[in-house]
A and B are shown apart, each in its own frame.
Chain A
Amino acid sequence: MKSSSPLKWFATREGLYYVALAVLLVVLLPLALDPFRLNMVGKYLTYAFVAIGLVMCWGKAGILSLGQGVFFGLGGYCMAMFLKLEASTPEATAIQSTPGIPDFMDWNQLTELPWFWEPFHSFSFTLLAVIGVPVLLAFVIGFAMFTRRVGGVYFAIITQAIAAILTILIIGQQGYTGGVNGITDLQTLNGWDIRTDEARTILYFVCVGMLFLCLFVARLVQNRKLGRILVAMNAQENRVRFSGYDVAAFKIFVFCLAAAFAGVGGAMFTLIVGFMSPSFIGIVASIEMVIFCALGGRLSILGAVYGALLVNAAKSGFSESFPELWPFAMGALFIGVVLAFPNGLAGLYQTYVMPLEDKIFKRNKGAQLEAKPAEKAAEPKPTAEKTPDYDPMIDSYSPEKS
């Protein structure tokens, strides 16, 4: 129904939630914050990409990956490799014994660019790789695991191990990767200096744009039958299987989707922060990404965005004022979000704020009432995200009937 009449959709309750987020990110924050702070918000947003992926993958389909940092990192490194090559022109690196290759390669006695760096001279290839590389890895992992029915804790632990492996590899192979320092001193994107305030502000808006793109992709998936299958799979895997679905294929798909989102996020991260290093790939980084999703509400793609924003904002807030408290707060957050409010902010919003809204919405949207009984407290923002499933006015079913 979105495609049929987009304007009508923006007037719906769900539409308004998206508009609200857009206003916050595109208008309020840029007005309220100086470039320095805005840039930090941009950085937080890059994590929101990962969180959205986790909502689809963990919240909906019940696949918990503790290795999302891997995909985030791969996306980021792809972008970083392109920028680094652009920064290491023969002129800029004249002092090196081998001009024209990244400085860290020179220090490690590499006399020519490794083969796998070559393609990253091309921007279009880089853009492809930013999504392609993470998705490819995700596919390999997913295929190996899901066709063999690996899930739950096993999957979590294995993805975590993969994060560990990749970190050790990158740090160890510093001649090819920049090692523990990562790929630093990135300056221009196709000749455009990304370090100026203007550039940073522009990049922020690009990031917001990409974010909404991912949001709508995620939303499309969740509102189609595909989304229903994912949720159904989580609850009744066998029933889905014996309704004739290849469960593994669906899991692989959603895992790859999450990887793709993470990859885009990583690339934006590199552009906004100006470098990439292994510390964003490892176990700790990866598991922190899960909390962004959990806090926002593991079933709510919009919640994920707020989750990522809040946790990171809190993190830098704490580390500025009382650093030693931050780990306690973070730990409490993990425990609380699991024990006290498993559906995160979205859940709280749905229980406490939603009823107020209902009063407002009653008048103009009678359909909502019809939908109400269908909602259970378990579902965050049901009106926002589930209504299309339940609301006969929206699907083409009841019209046929009448």
Chain B
Amino acid sequence: MDTTDQAANGRSFGKGLGLKKSLMTLAASVMLATSAQAAVPATAEVNTTGLAVTDDTVTVGILHSITGTMAISEIGSVQAEKLAIDQINASGGVLGRQIEFVQEDGASDWPTFAEKSRKLLRQDNVAAIFGAWTSASRKAVLPVIEQYNGMLYYPTFYEGLEQSPNVVYTGQEATQQILASIDWAAETKGAKSFYLLGSDYIWPRTSNKIARKHIEDKLGLKVSGEEYYPLGHTQFNSVINKIKLRKPDVIFASVVGGSNVAFYKQMKAAGIDFTDEKPLLLTISVTEDEIRGIGGENVDGIYASMKYFQSLDNPNNKEFVAAFKEAYGDDMVIGDVTQAAYLGPWLWKAAVEKAGSFDIDKIREEFAGIEFTKAPEGYVRIHENHHLWSKTRIGQAQPDGQYKVVYETEELMEPDPFPEGYQ
């Protein structure tokens, strides 16, 4: 479908959303009342597997780290998921049932994630789990989710190499994020050589592996260096020198966490002004969230490749941002993952209503082709492999900490968690 279409959809949805909360809830209650007599299918039909579904409620689980080192990153996702749930409830709920949620704290500790996911599935019998953030936490809950046949909606852009029948990946997998951005750098910026730099764990390593294959094999260009630093590393002078020595056209960065701050500050200090793009810095790890910690002036001019930026100029997004700030305050910034987390509940709702049942197996049948036309990022559709078709955008960081979108792919990028020729 083309963009005008999207916009139209966006607007029509938008009306309901744009209204004041009170009105919305009023509207909702009315809808409920009516639907209660009429269209609400009996619980016995929609729930044959003993999930926590009553005649007027359905319970889902939210599983993120509220404490520990990851809390800072995951809090945004929690807020987005709760917002989505509120809005769904306000617009009549799912199959006429209001969504209630049980929230558990993964405490940035992977066994805790596993335990809590088991609790959610065994004790609370939740109909869906929205959660997990790091790959490690996802890997920890995965066996549990599969064992008890739950369904996890996972928001983070990640390394791919996974395709579980019990997970829906609402973030981008590596190829979606990387291929387009490298093509863009090569075509519009005429980049010939790339320097790959990342924190030392699976996501950057896998991403850079894909990047390298694409740069060398597909584009026939040069990778002039590949570097990894331990998580939390704060001294980057040496690598900065190497970069100055090798003079790459593009620094392809996937540094995360506290290292980010040190890295960009030291780059800037070393006299590298990103705005004049010699070299051009292209990151896949710095969302608006991270910029807060790094400081806008330090990343002024870098490019990021994501599927979503807060500054996206479309009606869906305007309404989403407005609602988010109304709910959580004006100083909120919304990053790629936060938006992806927001998609989770909506996609689940769509799937449930298409399947006419909360049963995991029935929903799974229907996933392929489920679409969400009022996604803040524009439009997404679920692929057979449980990842999302989505566009990839390039944004340039502004001093105010926002990204200015400078490029977006024509077509939706096909998700390809096991990319042929990239492994």
Instruction: Give A113 to B136 CA distance when docked, in angstroms.
Output: 23
Q: Does any Cβ of B come within 8 Å of A137's Cβ?
A: no
Q: Does any Cβ of B come within 8 Å of A36's Cβ?
A: yes
Q: Which one of A155-163, A270-278, A378-386 contacts B? A: A270-278
Q: Does any Cβ of A come within 8 Å of B368's Cβ?
A: no
Q: Which residues of B contact A323 (CB under 8 A)?
A: 66-67, 105, 107
Judging by beta carbons under 8 Å apart, are B105 and A172 in contact?
no
Q: Which one of B27-35, B82-90, B108-116 contacts A? A: B108-116
Q: Which residues of B contact A43 (CB under 8 A)?
A: 111
Q: Does any Cβ of B come within 8 Å of A10's Cβ?
A: no
Judging by beta carbons under 8 Å apart, are A172 and B228 in contact?
yes
**How near does chain B come to A86, taking the closest CB pair, in angstroms?**
14
Interface residues of A: mostly helix, strand, loop or mixed?
Answer: helix
Q: Which one of B44-52, B186-194, B200-208, B234-242 contacts A? A: B200-208
**Per-position binary interface string of chain A over residues 179-206, scored 1 when its CB falls under 8 Å from any chain B CB and 0 otherwise:** 1111011110000000100000000000
Instruction: Give A186 to B111 CA distance when docked, in angstroms.
Output: 13
Q: Which residues of A contact B67 (CB under 8 A)?
A: 319, 323-324, 326
Q: Which residues of A contact B332 (CB under 8 A)?
A: none
Judging by beta carbons under 8 Å apart, are B423 and A319 in contact?
no
**Most chain A beta-carbon neighbours within 10 Å: one of B66, B104, B143, B418:** B143
Contact of B136 among A40, A106, A195, A277 (CB under 8 A): A277
Q: Which residues of A contact B118 (CB under 8 A)?
A: 36
Q: Does any Cβ of B come within 8 Å of A402's Cβ?
A: no
Instruction: Give A306 to B242 CA distance when docked, in angstroms.
Output: 53
Q: Which residues of A contact B110 (CB under 8 A)?
A: 182, 275, 277, 279
**Per-position binary interface string of chain A over residues 160-175, scored 1 when its CB falls under 8 Å from any chain B CB and 0 otherwise:** 0000000010011010
Q: Which residues of A contact B115 (CB under 8 A)?
A: 36, 39-40
**How near does chain B come to A352, taking the closest CB pair, in angstroms?**
34
Judging by beta carbons under 8 Å apart, are B202 and A185 in contact?
no
Judging by beta carbons under 8 Å apart, are B140 and A172 in contact?
no
Judging by beta carbons under 8 Å apart, are A182 and B139 in contact?
yes
Q: Does any Cβ of A come within 8 Å of B312's Cβ?
A: no
Closest to B71 in A: A323
Judging by beta carbons under 8 Å apart, are A181 and B143 in contact?
no
Q: Does any Cβ of B come within 8 Å of A97's Cβ?
A: yes
Judging by beta carbons under 8 Å apart, are A273 and B111 in contact?
yes
**How near does chain A come to B121, taking the closest CB pair, in angstroms?**
10
Q: Does any Cβ of B come within 8 Å of A316's Cβ?
A: yes
Judging by beta carbons under 8 Å apart, are B147 and A181 in contact?
no
Chain A interface size band reads 35 or more
Q: Does any Cβ of B come within 8 Å of A109's Cβ?
A: yes
Judging by beta carbons under 8 Å apart, are B122 and A36 in contact?
yes
Q: Does any Cβ of B come within 8 Å of A400's Cβ?
A: no
| Residues A181 and B136 in contact in the complex (CB < 8 Å), given A36-B118, A172-B230 | yes
Which residues 101-160 in A have Cβ within 8 Å of B in the complex?
A: 103-104, 106-109
Q: Which residues of A contact B139 (CB under 8 A)?
A: 181-182, 184-185, 275
Q: Does any Cβ of A come within 8 Å of B268's Cβ?
A: no
Q: Does any Cβ of B come within 8 Å of A91's Cβ?
A: no
Q: Which residues of B contact A104 (CB under 8 A)?
A: 202
**How near does chain B come to A201, taking the closest CB pair, in angstroms?**
14
| Residues A107 and B201 in contact in the complex (CB < 8 Å), given A274-B114, A323-B66 | no
Judging by beta carbons under 8 Å apart, are A320 and B111 in contact?
no
Closest to B109 in A: A279
| Residues A320 and B230 in contact in the complex (CB < 8 Å), given A36-B118, A109-B423 | no
Q: Does any Cβ of A come within 8 Å of B231's Cβ?
A: yes
Q: Which residues of A contact B159 (CB under 8 A)?
A: 107
Q: Which residues of A contact B423 (CB under 8 A)?
A: 97, 106-107, 109
Judging by beta carbons under 8 Å apart, are B135 and A274 in contact?
no
Which residues 85-136 in B have Cβ within 8 Å of A in the complex?
A: 104-105, 107, 109-112, 114-115, 118-119, 122-123, 135-136
| Residues A168 and B230 in contact in the complex (CB < 8 Å), given A179-B201, A181-B202 | yes
Q: Does any Cβ of A come within 8 Å of B80's Cβ?
A: no
Contact of A172 among B114, B142, B143, B200 (CB under 8 A): B200
Judging by beta carbons under 8 Å apart, are B143 and A195 in contact?
yes
Q: Which residues of A contact B205 (CB under 8 A)?
A: 108, 174, 179
| Residues A320 and B202 in contact in the complex (CB < 8 Å), given A97-B423, A184-B139 | no
A-B contact pairs, 25 of them (CB 8 A): A36-B118, A103-B161, A107-B423, A109-B423, A171-B231, A172-B228, A174-B202, A174-B205, A179-B205, A180-B135, A181-B135, A185-B139, A185-B142, A185-B143, A195-B143, A273-B111, A273-B114, A275-B139, A275-B140, A275-B143, A277-B136, A279-B110, A316-B112, A319-B105, A320-B105
Interface residues of A (CB under 8 A from B): 36, 39-40, 43, 95, 97, 103-104, 106-109, 168, 171-172, 174, 179-182, 184-187, 195, 273-275, 277, 279, 316, 319-320, 323-324, 326
- For the complex of A and B, list the 5 residue pairs with the smallest distance between their C-beta atoms, beginning with the closest: A323-B67, A180-B201, A184-B139, A181-B139, A181-B136
Interface residues of B (CB under 8 A from A): 66-67, 104-105, 107, 109-112, 114-115, 118-119, 122-123, 135-136, 139-140, 142-143, 147, 159, 161, 200-202, 205-206, 209, 228, 230-231, 418, 423
